[in-house]
Structure 1
Amino acid sequence: MFVRTAGERDLAAVRALLVETWHATYDSIYGAAKVTEITDEWHSIASLKARLTRPNSEFLVADDGKRIGGMTFAAATTDAKIIMLNQLYVHPACQRQGIGQALLEEVEASFPEARTLRVEVEEANAQAVAFYRSKGFLPAGNTADCGGGSGLPALIFEKTIG
């Protein structure tokens, strides 16, 4: 898989990846109905399309020419030295193949002025917590409102970059 900038033609495949990955990851935590509600809002084509043109951001996909195996979206915060990793998802069938690492490396390279990469992770998502810890992220607190507006609690991890 190679990492490239996402385009409008990728949005249906990205949405499908997010819906499937979210159900595989979060149905046991939130229940399938809540996951469907979240993915219908957060991962709608319109919501994804808005990210394509967001200033100071990167929307990337991992693509092998046949399928999108992973995606990430990151954006500068009000402090350009702090980048928020809003999403990094790898299709369940493509996990443990280095795709998450490749996406993470490209995000870091995309923001040369940044010094901190921040991510919010559902505490019960042990696989994601382990992934971020293995990539050098350290606990930096928690939030009661993951992503701003979800009302879902999350752990905050940060990694020094640059």
Structure 2
Amino acid sequence: MFVRTASERDLAAVRELLVETWHATYDHIYGVERVTAITNDWHSIASLGSRLTKPHSEFLVADDGKEISAMAFAAADSDGKVVKLYQLYVRPGFQGRGIGGMLLDEILDCFPDAEMIRLEVEEANDRAIAFYKAYGFAEAGRTGHCGVAGSGIPALVFERPLGAWH
């Protein structure tokens, strides 16, 4: 398994990964219809493609040469001090193998001047919360609009200072 920068040729596979992972993770929380609507919007080829050219960002995939098993997307604020991890998803069949940690480590390496990394996580996603806590993240607040403004999806906000970590 190796981590590399995503390209346009990866977008269909990344979308498939996200749809599979979102349904496996969130159907029991939001219902199939809402998860389908969210993935059709947030994980469309056009939406994913726009991330490839976003300034001060990194879009990574974990690839074994046959399939993409995980992805991550993060972007720094204008001064590069705070990085927001927007996405880190590992296909259900590949979870628990260290792939998420590989992606997170690579994301951190991509932003050497950052002082803080921040993310939002669904509070019912116990597995993700345990993963982030194991990597030194701590709960720093809540949002009523996870992902995008107006989403109406509540989430926990987690942060981790970076100075001592990389």
- Scaled to the shorter chain, the TM-score interval is over 0.9
Aligned to 1:156, the other structure's residue is in SS state strand
Structure 1 position 117, deviation (Å)? 0.6
Counterpart CA distance in 2 for 1:138 and 1:32 is: 30
Larger mean Cα displacement after TM superposition, 65-74 or 141-150? 141-150
Which residues of 2 match residues 116-155 of structure 1 at below 5 A? 116-149=116-149, 150-155=151-156
3-state secondary structure, aligned to 2:80? coil
Cα deviation for residue 151 of structure 1 reads: 1.3
Spell out structure 1 runs of 4+ moving beyond 4 A: none
Q: How does 1:86-101 map to 2 (within 5 A)?
A: 86-101=86-101
Q: Aligned letter for 2:156?
A: L
State the one-letter code of the partner of 1:118.
R
| Whole-Å separation in 1 of the counterparts to 2:39 and 2:148 | 15
How big is the shift at 1:147?
1.6
Q: TM-score, normalised by structure 2?
A: 0.96
Distance 1:79 1:91 in 2: 33
1:141 Cα shift?
Answer: 0.4
- What is the match of residue 22 of structure 1? 22
Cα 1:20–1:49 shift into 2, 3 Å: same
The answer for the alignment partner of 2:32 in structure 1 is 32
How many residue pairs were aligned? 162
3-state DSSP class of the match of 2:128? Answer: helix
- Structure 1: which 5+ residue stretches go unaligned? none
| TM-score, normalization by structure 1 | 0.98
Which residue matches 2:84? 84
| 1:158 and 2:159 matched | yes
Q: Describe the SS at the equivalent of 2:106.
A: helix
Say if 1:116 and 1:60 are closer, same or farther in 2 by CA, change over 3 A.
Answer: same
Matched, 1:108 2:108: yes
- In structure 1, what is the equivalent of residue 41 of structure 2? 41
- Which residue number corresponds to residue 68 of structure 2? 68
Shift of 1:77: 2.1
Partner letter of residue 34 of structure 2? K
Identity of aligned residues (%): 64
RMSD: 0.8
